[in-house]
């Protein structure tokens, strides 16, 4: 029976901010709101729709006066932003100049399996200093050395996607050290809307990190090792909040509307973003999979790892000189970033009552149903986390799913797990037997499943046959085998 649910000591919703042990920085940290908000550069093509990215180490000044070694796409933290058009295939050559194998995944991408970042489709370093610590390397993967071509058809509608490392067993440390970035898809439906644009459209990539005295990242040394286990098992949470790679940054705005594309790129931390003073609120216009049908207003935004919220914030009620701080309500209103209103300005943007042709789909009768149970457990020699009682197995598929057919998938949890499905977006049908929650609107590819909960979603895979993944996007849980492979047929 499904009754054996283990709750954490405080397993009722709303849960405490984090259950894992907080990693504390030893480095000298700046005062919040002293570092300007960086905007990741837009990646330039080498020829129309062709790109080349070098994965390399770089020494960056993340904390003022200190250097942090990162693993970065083009040596950046976060990586460059891809800004592409729906329906235009992009071809990306990735070159690995690191000393660890990597795997690139486009999160939210409708991508053929060969380019989707199967966790064993390794790109080995050009230099040949291979890390042999992985258990299953070479088994069931297409391994390349030096460089690899990824093809992204970008067939989906306009949306805020992101890309990140997906190496089996090592996704969490490699993303933590910098292997992540944004991938924006635009289309005509979105172009027609009078939304804020140009420098009034701002990406906010939020992630937490801890820093040693010399500025290097602190990350638990190894999974399951005594002494570090508690900092690892529940997922790594750290004391410095970075936005676009800067600690608690500040950004100057005009007293007008802004479009903020918010990505929670943290390994394991959930945020409830709110403002320290009214009347600002979040008017949500889009979700993981693009525009909603109609805007949804939120006082606060709960955002789990890998989720995206596309929101409009109106600063017109503030006067020049006012400061508006975004705080995390799940962490005693800890600072995230600050906006400084500098001047009044004209604003030709608006938020239309109808944003897109999105509509909720009704589940057909006699539809296939599948259950995915996310639980702590030991399986297959793994000490960690399981799906349907199994640790990730790259050889045996847990399901075969027919293309072009809706299915209802239900996700059942013990503790919090942000559940992510590759290849196809889904619509949330229900939570705990009731309707979708306030943050479930639109096409999603990641859903914040809370402790001891059942979330049902409607999903349909199209176009690409092959091996795909469903997993927890708490990246330490994922690395501790909370991932399952399925095959689209």
Q: Which residues make up the interface to Cu ion (CB under 5 A)?
A: 417, 472, 474, 477
**Out of ligand C2O, Cu ion, none, which partner does residue 417 contact, by CB within 5 to 8 A per kind?**
Cu ion
Q: How many CB atoms lie within 10 A of CB 48?
A: 7
Mode of pairing for the β-strands spanning 271-275 and 323-328? antiparallel
Query: Which tokens in the block code for residue 99?
Result: 């000393």
Rama region for 9: left / alpha / beta (φ>0; ψ in -120 to 50; rest):
alpha
Contact region with ligand C2O (CB under 6 A), list: 83-91, 339-347, 350-358, 467-475? 467-475
Stretch of residues binding ligand C2O (CB under 6 A), selected from 121-129, 285-293, 382-390, 466-474: 466-474
Degrees (nearest 5) of the Cα angle 338, 344, 350? 85
Report the nearest approach of Cu ion to the CB of residue 385 (Å): 6
Rounded Cα distance, 340 and 351, in Å? 23
Member of 469, 472, 480, 481 binding ligand C2O (CB under 6 A): 469
Q: What is the maximum span of the chain, computed from C-alpha positions, in angstroms?
A: 62
Interaction partner, residue 422 (Cu ion, ligand C2O, none; CB < 5-8 Å by kind): ligand C2O
Nearer to ligand C2O, 30 or 80 (CB): 80
Stretch that binds ligand C2O, among 124-132, 205-213, 217-225, 468-476 (CB under 6 A): 468-476
State the DSSP string of 20-36: SPEE---SPPPPTT-SB
* Total residues binding ligand C2O (CB under 6 A): 10
Which residue number, 325 or 474, has a Cβ lying nearer to Cu ion?
Answer: 474
Tell me how crowded residue 161 is: count the other CB atoms within 10 A of its CB: 25
Q: Indicate which of ligand C2O, Cu ion, none lies near residue 477 (CB less than 5 to 8 Å, by partner kind).
A: Cu ion
- Taking the mean position of all CA atoms in its chain, how far away is CA 36? 23
CB of 297 to ligand C2O, least distance (A): 28
* Residue 441 in tokens: 């609107």
Residues 140-179, mask of contacts with ligand C2O (x by CB under 6 A): ------------------------x-x-------------
Nearer to Cu ion, 261 or 270 (CB): 270
Encoding tokens for residue 216? Answer: 């290097």
Residues between 306 and 365 with contacts to ligand C2O, criterion CB under 6 A: 306
474 binds, among ligand C2O, Cu ion, none (CB under 5 to 8 A by kind): Cu ion
When the beta carbons of 105 and 148 are compared against ligand C2O, the nearer one is: 105
Using Cβ positions, the residue closest to ligand C2O within the complex turns out to be: 107
CA distances from 258 to 203, 233, 316, 410, 431 (A): 11, 38, 10, 36, 31
> Following DSSP, what letter does each residue of 284-334 receive, concatenated?
EEEETTEEEEEEEEESSEEE-TT-EEEEEEE-TTS-TT-EEEEEEGGGTTE
Minimum separation from the CB atom of position 238 to Cu ion (A)? 18
Using rule CB under 6 A, residue 431 touches ligand C2O: no
Contacts of 462 (CB under 8 A, 6+ apart): 110, 403, 404, 424
x-marked contacts with ligand C2O along 78-117 as a string, rule CB under 6 A: ---------------------------x-x----------
CB of 469 or CB of 480, closer to ligand C2O: 469
Pick 166 or 417: Cβ nearer ligand C2O: 166
Helix (H) or strand (E) holding 174: helix 171-176
- How far apart are CB 53 and ligand C2O at their closest, in Å? 17
In whole angstroms, give the CA distance from residue 146 to residue 394: 23
**Of the candidates 487, 469, 488, 381, which has an alpha carbon nearest to the alpha carbon of residue 168?**
469
Query: 386 or 427, CB closer to Cu ion?
Result: 386
Q: How far is the CB of 166 from ligand C2O (least distance, A)?
A: 6
Alpha-carbon gap, residue 45 to 153, rounded angstroms: 16
Shortest Cβ 224–Cu ion spacing (Å)? 16
Residue whose CB is less far from Cu ion, 211 or 372: 372
Minimum CB distance to ligand C2O, residue 471 (Å): 6
The residue range among 230-238, 284-292, 341-349, 469-477 that interacts with ligand C2O, by the rule CB under 6 A, is 469-477
Q: 65: phi > 0 → left, psi -120 to 50 → alpha, else beta; which?
A: left
Q: Indicate whether 471 belongs to the interface with ligand C2O (CB under 6 A).
A: yes
Of 177, 375, 416, 420, the one binding ligand C2O (CB under 6 A) is 420
Quote the CA–CA distance of 306 and 283 in Å, as a whole number: 20
Residues that bind ligand C2O (CB under 6 A): 105, 107, 164, 166, 306, 420, 422, 469, 471, 473
């Amino acid at each position: 029976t499904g009754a054996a649910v283990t709750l954490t000591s405080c397993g009722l919703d709303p849960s405490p901010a984090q259950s894992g042990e907080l990693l504390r920085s030893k480095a000298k940290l700046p005062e919040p709101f002293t570092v300007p908000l960086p905007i990741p550069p837009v990646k330039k093509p080498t020829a129309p729709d062709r790109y080349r990215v070098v994965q390399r180490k770089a020494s960056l000044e993340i904390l003022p006066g200190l250097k942090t070694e990162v693993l970065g796409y083009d040596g950046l933290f976060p990586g460059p932003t891809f800004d592409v058009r729906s329906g235009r295939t992009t071809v990306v050559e990735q070159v690995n100049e690191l000393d660890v194998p990597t795997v690139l995944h486009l999160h939210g991408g409708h991508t053929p399996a060969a380019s989707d970042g199967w966790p064993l489709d390794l790109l080995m370093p050009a230099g040949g200093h291979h890390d042999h610590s992985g258990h299953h390397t070479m088994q069931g993967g297409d391994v390349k050395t030096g460089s690899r071509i990824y093809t992204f058809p970008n067939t989906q509608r306009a949306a805020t996607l992101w890309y990140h490392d997906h190496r089996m067993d090592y996704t969490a440390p490699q993303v933590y050290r910098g292997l992540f970035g944004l991938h924006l898809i635009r289309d005509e439906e979105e172009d027609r809307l009078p939304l804020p644009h140009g420098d009034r459209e701002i990406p906010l990539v939020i992630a937490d990190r801890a820093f040693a005295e010399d500025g290097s990242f602190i990350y638990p040394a190894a999974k399951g090792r005594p002494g570090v286990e508690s900092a690892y098992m529940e997922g790594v949470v750290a004391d410095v909040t970075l936005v676009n790679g800067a600690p608690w940054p500040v950004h100057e705005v005009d007293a007008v509307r802004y479009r903020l594309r918010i990505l929670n790129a943290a390994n394991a931390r959930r945020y409830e973003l709110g403002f320290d003073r009214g009347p600002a609120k979040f008017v949500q216009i889009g979700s993981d999979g693009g525009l909603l049908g109609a805007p949804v207003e939120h006082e606060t935004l709960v955002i789990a790892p890998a989720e995206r919220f596309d929101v409009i914030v109106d600063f017109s009620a503030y006067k020049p000189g006012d400061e508006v701080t975004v705080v995390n309500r799940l962490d005693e209103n800890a600072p995230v970033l600050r906006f400084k209103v500098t001047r009044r300005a004209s604003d030709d943007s608006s938020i239309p009552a109808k944003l897109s042709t999105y509509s909720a789909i009704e589940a057909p009768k006699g539809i296939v149903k599948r259950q995915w149970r996310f639980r702590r457990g030991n399986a297959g020699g793994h000490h960690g986390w399981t799906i349907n009682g199994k640790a990730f197995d790259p050889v045996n598929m847990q399901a075969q799913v027919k293309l072009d057919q809706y299915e209802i998938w239900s996700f059942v949890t013990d503790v919090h797990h942000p559940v992510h499905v590759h290849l196809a977006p889904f619509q949330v049908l229900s939570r705990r037997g009731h309707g979708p929650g306030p943050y479930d609107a639109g096409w999603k590819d990641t859903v914040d499943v809370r402790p001891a909960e059942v979330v049902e979603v409607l999903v349909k895979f199209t176009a690409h046959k092959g091996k795909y993944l469903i997993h927890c996007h708490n990246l330490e849980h994922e690395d501790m085998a909370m991932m399952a492979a399925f095959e689209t047929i």
